[in-house]
Structure 1
Amino acid sequence: MNALKAEIVRVIQNEGPLPVSRYMALALGHPRHGYYMTRDPFGREGDFTTAPEISQMFGELLGLWAAHLWQAMGAPSRFRLVELGPGRGTLMADVLRATRIVPGFHGALSVHLVETSPVLRARQAETLSGAGAVWHDTVVSVLDGPAIVLANEFLDALPLDQFVMTAEGWCERLVGLGEDGELAFGLAPAGDGAKARAPVGTVLEQPSAALDVVAGIARHLSREGGGAAFIDYGPIRSGFGDTLQAMRRHAFVDPLAEPGEADLTVHVDFERMGQAGLRAGAALHGPATQRDFLLALGLAQRAQILSRSADAAQRKAIFEAFDRLIEPGEAGMGDLFKVMALSHPALPPLPGFDLHRVPEQV
């Protein structure tokens, strides 16, 4: 039993079973033993790979998207370029490289990163040496004045709670101890409240932390100006289901087996996130599939340009990355991943989305 698991067992013995959200928070963010506090989890040698690590094209196109947004904002002389959960700093490095061609953009921006992991902060500092980056512990502290916010695979790691419909009504799923002393899921009466009726066995997830983040950013953008892009995996429309999953060495594992040793994530409910943004006063763009978004921004053309100066092995890698970013199904990220943007309501439609915005129905 690892140190974090032993500590969680002690907490349960002293306080009782934990909500799924608290278990996730401890597994991912415990100050000494949390998953993100102790390692660089990215790449082949880690547990998973994100789009910026697959290809520079992803960050380059997102950078030009951000530059277009800045111009649509009236090219303010000062704004914050913010990334939430910046990983190794790869995405931001690609954004900054691609936007050097945009007059005035670099002179106006300051780079701000929301990151709690000391390991990843050190890696980001190496990658972004010379960028003058400023680090923040929370989303609240990073928002100040006009802002462009980028969040790739950030919302999926925020803790949520789960509820299960039983013959007696809704119960909250908790993490407790089984008869063998191991961590196990259980249920406790939660009361129906405002929760919808559903068949017995239905799982309802309540992503309060993610909804709060999206609403807070939307409120800020509606007051101070700017926009935000959220890229993550999950459905366009809300639904029921248990989406909690754990990933270790690029394979799915039991989320309760070794807390702190595997990445815990959930699918993002983009419909609810979009509605939270609208209620907070922002304009909503999308969501679109990652495939449609990247192709609309010129991914195919960028791949062709890169391939012109590449050797055979490099060209093969470029187009393998191209396929992985947009392919549908389990082989690629094209349909599973979605892109949603929020902006100040006075801004025009943003690149990568349909020319019309989602009707403002809340």
Structure 2
Amino acid sequence: MKLSTNIPMRPSGEIILNLTNMNAAARRAALHSLRTSSRTPIRCRWGSTLADRKWSTPLARTLASAMTVTGPIPIAAFMRQVLTSPEGGYYTSREDVFGKRGDFVTSPEISQVFGELIGIWAIAEWMAQGRKRSGVQLMEVGPGKGTLMDDMLRTFRNFKSFTSSVEAIYLVEASATLREVQKRLLCGDEAAMEETDIGHRSTCKYFNVPVVWVEDIRLLPHELPLTYFRMIAEEGKTPFIFAHEFFDALPIHAFESVPPAPENEATEQVQEIMTPTGPQKLLKPLKVANVPQWRELLVTLNPKAVEENIEGEPEFKLTKAKASTPSSLVIPEISERYRKLKSQPGSTIEVSPESRIYAADFARRIGGDTTTTQTSKKNSTPENPKKTTPSGAALIMDYGTMSTIPVNSLRGIQHHKNVAPLSSPGQVDVSADVDFTSLAEAAIEGSDGVEVHGPVEQGDFLQALGIEERMRQLLKGVKDEEHRHTLETGWRRLVDKSSGSMGQIYKVMTIIPENSGKRRPVGFGGGVQM
């Protein structure tokens, strides 16, 4: 969905603030505003009161109240709140987001064969890496309902030598609601889930290994107490990491390049900043920029909805920052791909720093930290183990661009239909295209011990894994015509590569141990190695 950026900007002089960058006093003022918004009318600059308005969702009211204190907020901050806020976030407050009754259907929900083939891919990669007999760790970020992991685990049961090597299953899930759904599916309705010092824990129903939940992968240190199986960084640990439709939901920042300011532009401007004691005007001399600059696209209140009460207008809209923000000065400088576009006024880019953090984390868990891969084994200590032999793999499956930088890709989905991404906060799934090249850059920068293959289109990947052969095998025993039709249409939907179909728009990328390009993994031009 394309979003216009030709939107009236805030009045001259308002500085864009971010809650995460505010000092303690300012944060307290903002939080006080949120707590009291339901009791105390807050006057908007257009004269109406936020307290009197009927908001689309409780979270919309909270965001609006915050914006009266902070001003417009980055898209990343908006996405983080509407998706994972403990007070009405899309993923943290409901479990019916997936499937026909929800808002969208994912590949594992369409056909069990998808998860089975991903399991087969993991087995093939395990075999190619020498069939490790212990220390294998299964990790999934953003497991949804747990369907993908469940289908993989059922497949793994047919490979006893592999399951005997599995040490633990780690699920990175921020939603307590979805954690419970995953526990019921992977561990059983009656299984207990105990709280631990890093998250929660139960036991897999398919084979006797622990299932450990954490809210963020960074909560899993590169060494754990023995009770939690010192993992991944220690030599011998082999992580297989899966990310299906995870990166598209991570927050993005959007920027637009603007030309140099005219030489005769006024060098002084009255500015107004919000302080804990109220707005303060400053007279600040400004230097005229003689080079192109990035301007961040921000989320602000939409006067057409809030002031004029025009039906159908979303309560929030995008606006372009009038001056540089900390994010616009730093984030577009992290890659040469972005820096090259800065000199072309009108260029727009979408960047997800959090996605790069996750990709680099995957790489370090597989290949070791860049700063330690050259460290000799004698420097390893029980308190600070070093990974000296890269092992494991990460498989990333999502929709996004093959090599270009995403532009205007922010989208909203509700009840299987595209809707305005800034509408009904907490009730709409908000996502953006994944920049696979950026993920590859971050992985390579994160560890010298890995290499990246792909992305390839999902249709090609599944065909290479033998989806047609597997479906023929499944259909042999199916006599019910309706069930047969469901299976047939399901797998064909996964591989269809016509314009806009899943087999084309979804891509697959893998991070594996560095081997100088001598071995390509299955699905990326390589074959099964026995």
- TM-score normalised by L of structure 2: 0.65
Q: Deviations over 1:161-216 (max 9, x none)?
A: 00123455421001112334332211113367743236554321111110110011
For residues 184 and 235 of structure 1, the distance between their equivalents in structure 2, rounded to whole angstroms, comes to 25
Q: Aligned to 1:75, which of 131, 143, 157?
A: 131
Secondary structure of 1:288's match? strand
The equivalent residue for 2:472 is: 304
Q: Distance in 1 between matches of 2:63 and 2:431?
A: 19
| Partner Cα separation in structure 1 for residue 147 and residue 401 of structure 2 | 26
Equivalent residue for 2:441, pick from 275, 282, 293: 275
Equivalent pair of 2:119/2:156 in contact (CA under 8 Å): yes
Quote the sequence identity (%): 33
Matches within 5 A, 1:327-346: 327-329=496-498, 332-346=501-515
- 1:359 alignment counterpart: none
Match of 2:117 among 61, 69, 87: 61
After superposition, the C-alpha distances for 1:119-170 in whole angstroms (9 at most, x for unaligned) are 1111111110225421111112346322000110000000010012345542
In the TM superposition, residue 255 of structure 1 has moved relative to its aligned partner by 1.2
* Residue of 133, 139, 145 corresponding to 2:211: 133
| Alignment deviations for residues 205-260 of structure 1 (CA, whole Å, 9 cap, x no partner) | 11111011001111121024210000000111123511110100001111111110
* Displacement after TM superposition at 1:52 (Å): 0.3
Contact between 2:411 and 2:418, CA under 8 Å: does it hold in 1?
Answer: yes
| Alignment match, 1:150 | 242
1:314 aligns with 2:483: yes
**Cα deviation per residue 1:302-348 (whole Å; 9 max; x = unaligned)?**
01000001122222111101111011235631010000000111483
SS at match of 2:303: coil
Contact 1:35 1:261 in 2 (8 A): yes
Report Cα offsets for 1:26-47 as digits up to 9, x if no partner.
0101012110011120001000
CA distance in 1, matches of 2:451, 2:500: 33
- Cα RMSD of the aligned pairs, angstroms, is 1.9
2:457 matched to 1:324?
no
Which residue is equivalent to 2:91? 36
> Which residues of structure 2 form unaligned runs of 5+?
1-54, 188-204, 223-230, 233-237, 261-292, 307-314, 334-338, 369-386
The reply to whether residue 106 of structure 1 matches residue 251 of structure 2 is: no
SS at match of 1:279: helix
- 1:184 paired with 2:317, answer yes
How far apart in 2 are the matches of 1:64 and 1:286? 18
SS at match of 1:234: strand
- CA displacement at 1:296 relative to structure 2: 0.4
**CA distance 1:93–1:152, change in 2 (3 Å):** same
Match of 1:128, SS? helix
Matches of 2:467 and 2:346, distance apart in 1 = 42
**Higher percent of residues as helix:** 1
In structure 2, the partner of 1:207 is 352
Alignment partner of 1:220 is 2:365: yes
What is the deviation of 1:5?
A: 0.5
The amino acid across from 2:108 in the alignment is P
- Indicate conservation of the 8 Å contact 1:238/1:272, yes or no: no
Which is further off, 278-287 or 326-335?
A: 326-335
Q: Which amino acid aligns with 2:92?
A: M
Q: CA–CA distance in 2 between the matches of 1:295 and 1:86?
A: 24
- Per the TM alignment, residue 105 of structure 1 is displaced from its structure 2 partner at its CA by 1.2
- Distance, in Å, in 1 between the alignment partners of 2:499 and 2:156 is 32
Query: Which consecutive unaligned segments of at least 5 residues does structure 1 have?
Result: 357-362
Amino acid in the other structure paired with 1:229? L
Separation (CA, whole Å) in 2 of partners of 1:179 and 1:350 = 53
Q: Does residue 121 of the first structure (1) align with residue 245 of the second (2)?
A: no
- C-alpha distance in 2, partners of 1:170/1:275? 21
Q: Determine the C-alpha separation between the residues in 1 that align with 2:460 and 2:502.
A: 11
| SS of aligned partner of 1:147 | strand
Return the letter of the residue paired with 1:52.
P
Give 3-state SS (helix, strand or coil) of 1:123's partner.
helix
User: 1:197 aligns to what?
Assistant: 342
Residue pair 1:69, 1:350 contacting (<8 A) in 2 also: yes
Tell me how far apart the structure 2 counterparts of residues 270 and 184 of structure 1 sit (CA, whole Å): 27
The DSSP-based 3-state class of the residue aligned with 2:510 is strand
Mapped pair 1:170 → 2:294: yes
2:66 paired with 1:15: no
Q: CA deviation at 1:70?
A: 1.8
Quote how far apart the aligned CAs of 1:351 are: 0.6
- Supply the distance in 2 between the matched residues of 1:275 and 1:183 (Cα, whole angstroms): 33
For residues 264-285 of structure 1, what are the alpha-carbon distances to aligned partners after superposition, in whole Å with 9 as ceiling and x for unaligned?
Answer: 1110111121122122221111
CA contact (8 A) 2:406 2:433 kept: no
Structure 1 counterpart of 2:178, which letter?
Answer: L
Shift of 1:72: 2.4
Q: How many residues align?
A: 356
Matched, 1:348 2:525: no
| Higher Rg | 2
- d(CA) in 2 for partners of 1:248 and 1:167? 38
CA contact (8 A) 2:350 2:405 kept: no
2:145 is aligned, of 68, 88, 102, to 88
